[in-house]
Amino acid sequence: MIPYGRQTITADDIAAVTAVLRSDFLTQGPAVEAFERKFAERVGARHAVAVNNATAALHLALRVAGVGPGDRVVTSPITFVASANAAAYVGATPDFADIDPVSHTLSPAALAAGWRADTRAVVSVDYAGQAADLPAIAAYARARGAVVIDDACHAVGGSFHSGGRPWSLGGNPWADLTTFSFHPVKTLTTGEGGMLVTDRDDWAALARTLRSHGIVRNTNNFTPASDGCPLLAERGPWFYEMQELGHNYRITDMQCALGLSQLGRLDACLRRRREIVAAYNAAFAGLPWLQTPALRDPADAATTSWHLYTVQIDFAALGKTRTEAMAALRDAGVGSQVLYIPVHLQPWYRRNYGYAQGKCPAAEAFYTRTLSLPLFPAMTDADVDRVVVAVRNLFSPS
C-alpha cells in the first residue's frame, strides 16, 4: 500500500537522535538552539522559536500579538482545525473567509468582502505548500490594524514569487509571524514539533517565555518584575519568576537533533516532491474528469514545497462516488485522503458560532471534489507509475 504521505528517516537521522540520547541533555539542551538557529537562517528570519507542535506555535503567535477576547481572527476553511482553534484558545472569535478557487488559499477579495471592525488577525494558510497571496492579504489587513500570521505548516522550506523575485515562507515582509509543523507527513519531521518564526525581538522573547510556563530565569538578560515582594528580594542563582501564565510547549533535544539532520537534506527532498508533482501533472493532463493543482504564479513551480498532491475530481463525470473511487484506489494499493472538511462546518463551529453551509461556497465546492494522492520523497518512479495507472483506471466507460 502506498500511503498518501510518509516520513523519510535515514541512518544519519537515527545517528543524530542516538547521539542526543547518549548526551547530558534530552530536553532544553544545545540541539534546540542549534535547530532554531539553522531554521531561522534557512528561512531568512531573525528568530525561530521551536515548540512541541504547530498548534502550540499558532497559539503562541496569537498570544504574543496580543489577540484576545473581543477580537476576531479570520482564516481559511480549507485547513486543519488547528488554524482556527488557536483563535478560540485565546478567547477570540474564529471566523472564515472563502478560498480562491484556483490556489485553494484564502481569497483576498473574500477577506475584504467579509471584513469586520473587530478583526485583529488573519491566519493565512499555505494549502498543500502553495503560499497564500500574502502581499494582497497583508496590504488589506495591515491597513486596518490587523496582524498577519501565516500558517505555513504545509510549506516548510518553500518560497513564492512576488515582484519578480522569490520570497521565503517565514522570511518575507508580509507575514508578521509564521508557523511550521514537523508532523511526520510534513516536508520535514521531528515526530511532533513546530516552529514560530518572526523578525520581532519582543515577540520572540515573549514566545520563549510562554513556551515554558511564563517563567523567566536568573540569566544575564533577566529583567525582574518590579512589584517588590520583600521575601523575593534576594535574587541568587536559583531565582526565577513566573511573569506570565504560560504553557509547557517545549520540544526535546532528540526531536531537534532529528530536525537538524532533516534540514540538511530538505532541498533534496523538496526537489523529489517537485519531480513527482510534475510527473503526475503530465500524466493526468488529458483526463477530462480530473483537474491537477494550479499555481497562482507559474514561477512557483520551481520553489513550492509541495506537502500534498491534491486533485479535483468531477465524481459525477467519473461515474463513481468519492467513497467508491477511494476503495478502488485502495484495491490497487494506493492510499488517498480528503483534506479538508471545511472547518466552519465542523459541529463545534456550527454549534458555537452559528456557521452554516453556504458561508464559504468555493471551499464547500472544493470539498465535494477534492482528493489527495500519495506524495513523499521516498516514492520510486515505479510507485508514481502505479498511482498514475490506478487513477487512470478509475474511469471505466460502461
Ligand X SMILES: Cc1ncc(COP(=O)(O)O)c(C=O)c1O
Amino acid at the residue 298: P
Residue 170: Cβ-neighbour burial (10 angstroms; 0-12, 13-18, 19+): buried
Tell me which stretch binds ligand X (CB under 6 A): 52-60, 204-212, 238-246, 270-278.
Answer: 52-60
- Report 109-128 residues binding ligand X (CB under 6 A): 125
Q: Among residues 216 and 339, whose Cβ is nearest to ligand X?
A: 339
The least distance separating ligand X from the CB of residue 153, rounded to whole angstroms, comes to: 4
What are the C-alpha distances in Å from 71 to residues 43, 87, 121, 213, 360? Answer: 30, 9, 8, 24, 21
Considering only 20, 50, 54, 149, the residue that binds ligand X (CB under 6 A) is 54
For the chain, the distance separating the N- and C-terminal CA atoms, rounded to the nearest angstrom, is 28
The least distance separating ligand X from the CB of residue 307, rounded to whole angstroms, comes to: 8
User: What's the CA gap between 317 and 287, in Å, rounded?
Assistant: 11
Question: Catalytic annotation on 186?
Answer: yes
Q: Interface with ligand X includes 194 (CB under 6 A)?
A: yes
Catalytic residue among 38, 186, 320, 359: 186
Considering only 151, 176, 199, 300, the residue that binds ligand X (CB under 6 A) is 151
Nearest to 77 by CA among 105, 49, 119: 105
User: What's the CA gap between 342 and 327, in Å, rounded?
Assistant: 22
Q: Interface with ligand X includes 209 (CB under 6 A)?
A: no
Per-position x/- string for 62-101, each x denoting binding to ligand X as judged by CB under 6 A, each - no binding? -----------------xx-xx------------------
The least distance separating ligand X from the CB of residue 343, rounded to whole angstroms, comes to: 10
Tell me which residue has cell 513546530.
Answer: 194
Sheet holding 290-291, edge to edge: 290-291, 309-313, 370-373
Element (DSSP H or E) covering residue 22: none
Q: Among residues 184 and 319, whose Cβ is nearest to ligand X?
A: 184
Q: Interface with ligand X includes 55 (CB under 6 A)?
A: yes
Q: What is the dihedral of CA 377, 381, 386, 390, to 10 degrees?
A: 70
The least distance separating ligand X from the CB of residue 155, rounded to whole angstroms, comes to: 9
The least distance separating ligand X from the CB of residue 328, rounded to whole angstroms, comes to: 26
Residues engaged in binding ligand X (CB under 6 A): 53-55, 79-80, 82-83, 125, 151, 153-154, 181, 183, 194
Active-site residue numbers? Answer: 186
